[in-house]
Structure 1
């Protein structure tokens, strides 16, 4: 395979990963909020979240493989899994590695969810919220398409979607925290007076 084909494949899979992982984050928030997507039962949202997570991970594996196989830039397997050791763009590649490592922690703990317990899984699953922006910064810093119109609009759309969903998630959490048993009891007592 020519270096040019590998370069295009790396760029394409990077952009696809941005879209897929954005949708995975959005679906994760939808699952947490118990949102039912049109045309799907609630368990369908969970299944879609899991399936797209695995698909995004497969695209990420191809993205990394293309970078390692392409001889134009010297990126080793070690560079892909150990942050900030690469001679090539150590900061930007290192951020991609940090995002990968965080995402792998989320993936592995999700696969072991039954064994590690819900509370541990949930605590570690928060790493997904850290992984996404770190991966985004990696792409902005190292991506050769950064600054092109199409990539700028794609990035802006993904960021806007995640920020909006995260805002909805925070608002939902704030409302839920006001519905604590003590607050509900005070409301009930106030209604009786």
Structure 2
């Protein structure tokens, strides 16, 4: 069994699952912003919420799998402590630490969403707003240690995903409504 694992193209799989996790996180954040915009029919909101949840949870699990593969990588293996303790990695400790914090952020956001009916509404919203810095940390992590960042389409996709999330946030802020960004942050 060990031989089979060691024969896997772990470096390619690590890169693939890291990118896939990032794109699912981007999809989840984008759909979450769209979901919060006014004017959707209840049926459409339900579909948006389901897609938002699926993308976010998938992104979290893909990110965890991405990190777990680093332990068995033969090119640059990581110790579990380097993955679980932010900024403790021997290689690129800052960038890898952001990846660890991103994973913890996603886990916290998803767990508190599942428990939101048991939490204070303001506390849940504050935690859920951490989706934005979590997304930015995932972007910085990918750009900082992602070995494919210099590939044109990968770099362009990072730029475009950041631009799309930024534009959606601006549109959402201008649309206002009952659940504007200021209200979500508890400022109204």
Q: TM-score, normalised by structure 1?
A: 0.82
Partner in structure 2 of residue 129 of structure 1: 132
Q: Who wins on radius of gyration, i.e. which is larger?
A: 1
Partner in structure 2 of residue 113 of structure 1: 116
Give yes or no for contact 2:28–2:55 (8 Å, CA) kept in 1. Answer: yes
Of residues 146, 149, 158, the one that matches 1:146 is: 149
1:98 aligns with 2:93: no
Partner in structure 2 of residue 25 of structure 1: 29
What does the per-residue CA deviation read over 1:1-40, in whole Å, with 9 as the maximum and x for residues that have no partner?
2466111011011111121111111111011114649xx6
Deviates more, 1:73-82 or 1:142-151: 73-82
Alpha-carbon distance change, 174 to 59 in structure 1, aligned in 2, over 3 angstroms: same
Of residues 71, 74, 84, the one that matches 1:71 is: 74
What does the per-residue CA deviation read over 1:35-56, in whole Å, with 9 as the maximum and x for residues that have no partner?
649xx62211111111111111
Q: Which has the higher contact order (CA 8 A, sep 6+)?
A: 2
The 1-side partners of 2:12 and 2:107 are apart by 25
Off by >4 Å, runs of 4+ in structure 1? 174-177
**1:77 deviation in Å?**
2.1
Structure 2, gaps ≥5 residues long: 181-188
The 2-side partners of 1:41 and 1:171 are apart by 21
The 2-side partners of 1:35 and 1:175 are apart by 11
RMSD between aligned alpha carbons?
2.2
The 1-side partners of 2:64 and 2:137 are apart by 17
Alpha-carbon distance change, 97 to 172 in structure 1, aligned in 2, over 3 angstroms: same
Partner in structure 2 of residue 185 of structure 1: none
Q: TM-score, normalised by structure 2?
A: 0.84
**1:58 deviation in Å?**
1.8
Give yes or no for contact 1:24–1:52 (8 Å, CA) kept in 2. Answer: yes
The 1-side partners of 2:87 and 2:7 are apart by 24
**1:143 deviation in Å?**
0.7
How many equivalent residue pairs?
175
Deviates more, 1:5-14 or 1:107-116: 107-116
**SS in structure 2 at match of 1:156:** helix
